[in-house]
Amino acid sequence: MRRVIINADDFGMDSERNRGILSAAEEGLVTSVALLANGEGLKEHLPRLLDIPSISVGLHLNVTEGEPLVMPSRSPFFRGKEPFWDGLDGESVSGDDVRKEFRAQMNRFMALTGRLPSHVDGHQHIHVAAPLVSAVIDLCREYRIERIRVPFDPTGEDRWNRSSEAARTLFAAAGLRSPDHFRGTANAFRPSLDRFLNDLESIPEGASTEIMVHPGYRSVGGCAFSDERREEELAILRHPRVRAAFTAFECIRYDEL
């Protein structure tokens, strides 16, 4: 049978995103949640999230948005997705600064949740950016994390897919486990019921797949990504056709991979 992890990204972004993710988790629509350790809204609703036994909770490493915990805020970090990815080639990346920030985010995750994350992934897939991969692997080794996202998606951006292919080899060599496939990129930006169902249909038999989702409610005054599309993703997860489609899969948590 095909196994799927339905992972909701960005818990901690803001109250509206938290409420949407909580609704999805409590309704059994997602099996995993990724936390932004530097998120302004992380503490809000967190105890309620941690009381849901049907989900695993992972760390969503972040060096593009919000404020750093310990790292100096300088280009290309914490200036947004495009400045980060566009600036990697032309900017000097301090490995020590990255490692300190990753460790601080891990420690805050553990302090607030009382547990290790089920897996590690990256906000806007920063964890597969070539200059950061070694720091991510070192973090996983230090804290004995065994699972990590590889966001190679047929509908994804070329730069993410190229980085993902290179990172997959390095992650595997370090003993990290990842789902066989990944879906959800296009639907995050242009939510569509038909596209979501097509993504499910495209998952091969006998494989494990992570489906990335971003359910939430529209955030007034929030970032551009926190608009009506988050409510559209939540509505897609709730749709009877999607619920029926998931009956053909074994829906697992990340810690069951």
Q: Are 39 and 65 in contact (CB under 8 A)?
A: no
Among 9, 10, 14, 255, the one annotated catalytic = 9
Q: How far apart are the first and last CA of the chain?
A: 14
The helix/strand/coil state of 33 is strand
- What are the φ/ψ torsions at residue 112 (nearest 5 degrees)? -85, -30
Q: Could you tell me which of 204, 210, 205, 212 has the C-alpha nearest to residue 185?
A: 212
The H-assigned helical ranges of 4-157 are 15-26, 46-50, 81-87, 95-113, 130-143
* Catalytic status, residue 9: yes
Q: Which residues are catalytic?
A: 9
